[in-house]
Chains A and B, each alone.
Chain A
Amino acid sequence: MKLILTIATLLITVDVMGATNRAFVSNEKDDTVSVIDILTNRVIKTVQVGKRPRGVGISPDGSELYVAISADNAIAVLDPVSMKVIRTFECGDDPETFAIHSNGNLYISNEEDAMASVYNPRTGTLLATIDVGIEPEGVAVAPDGSRVAVTSESTNLVHIIGVPEHTIQNNVLVGARPRSVVFSNDSRYIYVTAEISGEVKKIAADTGNIIQKTFLPDEKAKPKDVLLSKDGKKLYVAGGRANKIFILDAQTLEHLNNVAVGKRVWGLALSRDGLTLYTTDGLDHQVSVIDTSSEKVKTVVKVGNFPWGIAIDD
Chain B
Amino acid sequence: MSLNFFQISKSLPFFTLMLLSTFAYPKDVSLYFYGDDDSDEWHGAIQGLKEANAQGKFLKLQYALIAKKNLSEVKTYQPYAVISSLPPNDLSQALRANPEIPFFNLRIMSNDAVTTCAPNLFHIRPHHSALAAAETAWNLNKTMVAKAVLWHHTLKKYAAAQLNKRFEKNANRKMNPASWAGWASVKLFSDVLARNVPTSETTSLSFLKNNLAFDGQKGKNMFFNELNYLEQPLLFIYAEKIIGEVTTSRILPIGSRTPPCK
A interface list, Cβ under 8 A from B = 111-112, 114, 133-135, 153-157, 159, 168, 171, 173, 175-177, 196-197, 222
Contact = CB atoms under 8 A, between A and B. Distances in A.
A229 B87 CA distance: 57
A135 B159 contact: yes
Contacts of A159: 58
Given A196-B219, A196-B220, A157 B159 contact: no
Given A135-B162, A197-B213, A156 B58 contact: no
Main secondary structure of the interface of B (DSSP, over half): loop
B162 A168 contact: no
B215 A173 contact: no
B28 interface: no
Interface in B145-159: 158-159
B254 interface: no
Interface string B130-173: 00000000000000000000000000001100110100000000
Name the residue among A135, A153, A155, A159 with the largest chain B CB count within 10 angstroms. A155
A199 B195 CA distance: 16
B162 A196 contact: no
B54 A133 contact: yes
B58 A154 contact: no
Given A111-B162, A134-B51, A135-B159, A176 B58 contact: no
Contacts of B51: 134, 154-155
B191 interface: yes
B195 to A, nearest CB: 6
Interface of B: 51, 54-55, 58-59, 158-159, 162-163, 165, 191, 194-195, 213-215, 217, 219-221
B54 to A, nearest CB: 5
B58 A168 contact: yes
Contact of A196 (B55, B58, B195, B221): B221
B151 to A, nearest CB: 15
A176 B162 contact: no
Nearest to B50: A134
Given A157-B58, A196-B219, A176 B214 contact: yes
9 contacts: A112-B165, A133-B55, A134-B51, A155-B51, A155-B58, A156-B191, A173-B59, A175-B213, A177-B159
A103 to B, nearest CB: 27
Contacts of B213: 156, 175-176, 196-197
A299 to B, nearest CB: 30
A196 B188 CA distance: 14
A177 to B, nearest CB: 6
B55 A157 contact: yes
Given A111-B162, A135-B162, A153-B159, A176 B55 contact: no
A111 B162 CA distance: 9
A176 B213 CA distance: 6
A175 B213 CA distance: 7
A176 B221 contact: yes
B59 A112 contact: no
Closest 5 CB pairs of A and B: A171-B58, A155-B55, A196-B215, A176-B213, A134-B54
A156 to B, nearest CB: 6
Contacts of B158: 177
A176 B222 CA distance: 11
Contacts of A173: 59, 194-195
A73 B191 CA distance: 30
Nearest to A170: B58
A134 B194 CA distance: 15
A63 to B, nearest CB: 34
Contacts of B221: 176, 196-197
